[in-house]
A and B are shown apart, each in its own frame.
Chain A
Amino acid sequence: MGSNMAEAHPVGFQWVMEAKAKDAPVIHIDPRFTRTSALSDLHVPLRAGTDIALLGGVINYILSNELDFREYVLAYTNATFLISEGYQDAEDLDGLFSGYDQATTEYDPETWHYEGVSADPTLQHPRCVYQILKRHFARYSPEVVEAICGIPKEQFLRVCTAWTSNSGRDRTAALVYSVGWTQHSVGAQYIRAGSIIQLLLGNIGRPGGGIFALRGHASIQGSTDIPTLFNLLPGYLPMPTPAHSSLAAYIESIRGDKQKGFWRNADTYVVSLLKEYWGESATQDNDFCFDYLPRINGDHGTYRTVMDMVDGKVFGYFLLGQNPAVGSAHGRLQRLGMANLDWLVVRDLAMIDSATFWKNAPEIETGEIVPEQCRTEVFFFPAASHVEKEGTFTQTQRMLQWREKAVEPTGDQRSELWFFYHFGRRIRQRLAGSTDERDRPLLDLAWDYATHGDEPSAEDVLRHINGHDLTTGRVVNGYLDLRADGTTSCGCWIYSGVYADGVNQAARRKSRFDQDLYALEWGWAWPLNRRVLYNRASADPDGKPWSNRKALVWWDAQRREWTGHDVPDFPKDKPPSYVPPQGAVGPDALHGDDPFIMQSDGKGWLFAPTGLADGPVPTHYEPHESPVRNLLYGQQGNPTRKIYERPDNPYNPSPPELHGAVFPFVFTTARLTEHHTAGGMSRTLPYLSELQPELFVEVSPELAAQRGLNHLGWAHVITSRAAVEAKVVVTDRLAPLRVQDRIVHQIWMPYHWGPVGLVRGDVVNDLFGVVVDPNVFIQESKVATCDIQPGRRPRGPQLLSYLADYRRRAEITATTGTQLATTEPTAAESGRSTTEDPA
């Protein structure tokens, strides 16, 4: 679901094909029939943005037919736990949960917490998680799924039976998602919904089960582990806020009170990280330089930053391996932001659209950017490609694989490592001798990496990431070796062990034919080379495999340790029957049957008492832009989604607002195998460009007939932000859906084209506005509403007036789409029809 694996991850898809060859049924749930569907046993088309309704339907099917893996659920999830008396569900509050503040559009999660440590093993208590879940999803019936998603009931039931009948003691089912799930205003809850199903069916921590997040690029997993995100430090440590006045306060906020599990050891991770950053300058006396860390005080995400650029609050910008002029939502906003900087640094393989926007952005034609007047000074640095530098890739299984340098980079091309190492070195040179306090964090940095010539050694960087025992100078063998007293350093605690025994474990390449199925000697997976996370759950509470067929790790009573095909993701010598003493905390507090060792209660969370901004249980909300009213609740969309109310970021109206019919179709985008995301690595290459040479828009034959669109003729897609033209491809791979009492048509476009390269085209992401998920600030760029018309779009200034006319017809103002809470019926709803079109 939310993944076109065969097209976007063709190399990984070989394993799906291998499973299929062994008779595993493959189901593809996606708005359109793709190359993945072509190889699946069952394709289920659904309306984009309605996955939670479908998944909620599956949860309801499991619970109402008692098809959950009861022993697993009782032992390993929080199904039995009781929730606070003050908790009110979306069922009680018309789509909102208790704690919602209309003014801030945020939740106070106080009432979602557990009621002490009470639990009901009979699952009968009305406030136990199991019963809450049952009530919450009770209305997600096959009929409701059909009415919301457009999936015929029989088809939906086929999904339910396939999923449930392939789960249990002897069988497991795997769930795969990609950015078709994440890029939504309620994206984190999509994944939560999938997790609930997989927990109910006992598919987590077991071989062949799990949830696979296929990442958007090579090593995107790595760039969240050692993050390029504003709100995280390495190893998923949160970025400090001004409230964290001391190191102790910061650490306490991570590990909480009497918390079970390995987050309790956060002090060792944090202090070791600070020691790695600031070396000898970091001492017990100065809180290990904790105050050198920047603080965040709100949304500093990429979209907020771009708007600040437009508003003149940001002066410089680095782009590394990113092409926001094409690849980010609301491309026009991106380009206008970049056009209002003092300087812009672009490091890439080719002169990408984001480096040349000042002379060839679509805004030149409309007069919004004038090259002669554009103030931004662009510095372009040619980058070495992945074959021209050494280092690791971290893939979706959390596996690090070492890559050798195959050829020397030519000309001025340099690795990222080279760039940043020397950038830091030169800045420190410039600042040397400064007495300004604000320069201390830079001057005190332990900038001490080994080099080969002037190229920093990537192996040495990996060693620093792994961490050292500073008393002996030797590398540590894992995060269990880390200390909070300043005697260890570690650049990323979850990667600790990648250099265990002084060996680059990521560089191991023992053939899979020379080892067993789990190939533990190929590369290295965090944490501690465990291939299946939470694999304690692959054994029953007594430590025996649930079945021989699905044995992974188990308790060896003779040797009194956990053993098996994988590295046990559990304290190795803790017996299944272990009960911790009163008052134990951290790993010591884990019971012998608490497989979820990173959770504060050791259990898999069917209900999330904390950690989510938009509710403890996933709930069907319509996308920010939707053609229909939410069938289940008065609350239309995610009540906590982040909207940006500004004239340059207009939204198409959605019910209960009027005039949505001006943009009557559902719009979604995806990738093609033949191109690389924003095209920087493919539009410049003839062998890839010729395979998909031109931007096109896919429409069903039904929509083509309705709108007068001809195969290979021109059409343009319109939203309140932009109009984008493309060649029409009429295909049976798209079909209209019946949603509530309407026929809904979906339109699909690939988004790889832009103004530069061998093949050029309009920027599809210009069609999206900026609205983001409140948990992770990811943009909703997999669903919007739109119109489509035959022929090419207007050009130059006429394009602006064409769009203005659309906005006038839809009566769009800066406040359209910004009223988040919709549980009170509006005047519009009680009065006029929502499908009325004033044009």
Chain B
Amino acid sequence: MIGDHSLSGPLDDVAANAGHLDHPPRVGFFTDTSVCIGCKACEVACKEWNLVPEDGLNLLGMSFDNTGMLGANSWRHVAFIEQQRPLGNQDTGLAGLPTGQSGTGQTTEVVSSALRRAERGGGELGTSPLPVDPQPVDSQPQNLGMPSFEPPGAATGAEGRTDFRWLMASDVCKHCTHAGCLDVCPTGALFRTEFGTVVVQQDICNGCGYCVSGCPYGVIDRRPHDGRAQKCTLCYDRLGDGLEPACAKACPTDSIQFGPLDELRARAAQRVEQLHERGVTEARLYGHDPNDGVGGTGAFFLLLDEPEVYGLPPDPVVPTRDLPTMWKYAGIAASAFLAAAVAVFVGSTR
């Protein structure tokens, strides 16, 4: 029953592989972050439709991101990244201004030092306040007192910051071809739908939490008060009624596009090409490749930087990829033990 690519590698028909003989085409999301305006309508629409509870009222200081990360109570998460580098041919207007050094170092240090001291090391991002030092010793700026009007040329701009870009990207469950969460779920609460997506059945989940460690992206999470696993369902109920998921429906700029995965992949390839022609050479796809560690994802992205910049793993691998080899080695090891044991007995008869 387990084919060559049931646990890893390209798989043409995930739904059929899961036993759906007559099924609609596999659907997913193509999130084109180059047109995301960071409005967070996806986060709100998701919560409204799926009745996902509020996830903490805390200012995180991570640019405009106060959600922090995907979790049981945030199935969509818009990341905001302020960077000292240009975006294609964009002109930020900073050149020639009397600027000094960038502030991103200070802000990053404040947030990351808080994360280092946080109990769950970022696990509570967005759900509780970060412990922020009122006066971080190492990055204490100099109070220069009252003079607000520096003499001309005090800041020449020579050492000034000129490059800047502000990236925004809406993250979501990847609905992997080979879903670690699903593979390790002992109760069958997680299942592959006829649309090729991965959904948790709340009434079956026993809260064991294997799926949490099984997800290479850190997406699935247990809700604190009942312990059951939660994540994006790609609006399974809406799909059944022929509707697109709530987030895609709410996205004003079509940054989140929903549709048959094949069509989305073709569209995404075109978009990358178009952006490259326009000088945005840093545009690249993430999750579209069936040969990656999870066999390609159902929700894939057009990014403008390395995945790590957005908090995405650069080379995600489904933990079950190595299962056949592990069993093989386990088998060899077992045989060896057996042989050794036999040898002992054989030896002892002498």
Co-assembled chains A and B: yes
B residues 4-59 near A (Cβ < 8 Å) are 35, 37-41, 43-44, 47-48, 53-59
Q: Is the CB of B40 within 8 A of A701?
A: no
Q: How far is the CB of B84 from chain A (nearest CB, A)?
A: 7
Q: How far is the CB of B273 from chain A (nearest CB, A)?
A: 14
A741 to B40, CA, bound (A): 41
Interface presence of A6 (CB below 8 A): yes
Partner of A150, one of B43, B97, B148: B97
The residue on A at minimum CB distance from B55 is: A690
CB within 8 Å for A701 and B38 given contacts A14-B254, A35-B166: no
Q: Is the CB of B103 within 8 A of A730?
A: yes
Q: Is the CB of B96 within 8 A of A152?
A: yes
Interface presence of A487 (CB below 8 A): no
A736 to B136, CA, bound (A): 24
The residue on B at minimum CB distance from A6 is: B37
Q: Is the CB of B134 within 8 A of A693?
A: no
Interface presence of B61 (CB below 8 A): yes
Contact flags B131-165 to A (C-beta < 8 A → 1, else 0): 01011100111111010111110110000010011
Interface presence of A610 (CB below 8 A): no
Query: What is the size, in residues, of chain A's interface with B at 8 Å between Cβ atoms?
Result: 78
Contact flags B188-205 to A (C-beta < 8 A → 1, else 0): 000000000000000000
Q: Is the CB of B93 within 8 A of A665?
A: no
Interface presence of B332 (CB below 8 A): no
The residue on A at minimum CB distance from B91 is: A42
Interface presence of B170 (CB below 8 A): no
Q: Which residues of A contact B135 (CB under 8 A)?
A: 710, 713
Q: Is the CB of A745 within 8 A of B148?
A: yes
A residues 699-747 near B (Cβ < 8 Å) are 700-702, 704-714, 727, 729-733, 735-738, 741-745
Partner of A732, one of B103, B132, B167: B103
Name which of A73-81, A124-132, A614-622, A681-689 contacts chain B.
Answer: A681-689
Q: Is the CB of A704 within 8 A of B166?
A: no
Partner of A14, one of B92, B143, B253: B253
Q: Is the CB of A742 within 8 A of B149?
A: yes
Q: Which residues of A contact B90 (CB under 8 A)?
A: 40-43
Name which of B104-112, B221-229, B233-241, B308-316 contacts chain A.
Answer: B104-112
A706 to B96, CA, bound (A): 20
Interface presence of B349 (CB below 8 A): no
The residue on A at minimum CB distance from B254 is: A14
Q: Is the CB of B55 within 8 A of A733?
A: no
Interface presence of B289 (CB below 8 A): no
Q: Is the CB of A837 within 8 A of B110?
A: no
Q: Which residues of B contact A33 (CB under 8 A)?
A: 92-93, 164, 166
Interface presence of B100 (CB below 8 A): yes
Interface presence of B89 (CB below 8 A): yes
Q: Is the CB of B97 within 8 A of A11?
A: no
Interface presence of A694 (CB below 8 A): yes
Contact flags A1-34 to B (C-beta < 8 A → 1, else 0): 0000011001101100100010000000000010
CB within 8 Å for A691 and B44 given contacts A44-B93, A711-B103: yes
Interface presence of A521 (CB below 8 A): no
Q: Which residues of B contact A40 (CB under 8 A)?
A: 90
A41 to B164, CA, bound (A): 13
Subset of 12 A-B contacts with CB under 8 Å: A7-B39, A35-B38, A150-B97, A155-B91, A686-B57, A687-B44, A702-B155, A705-B100, A710-B110, A730-B107, A736-B97, A839-B146
Write the residues of chain A forming the contact surface with B, with a CB cutoff of 8 angstroms.
Answer: 6-7, 10-11, 13-14, 17, 21, 33, 35-45, 150-152, 154-155, 158, 627, 661, 664-665, 672-674, 686-694, 696, 700-702, 704-714, 727, 729-733, 735-738, 741-745, 758-759, 790, 835, 837, 839
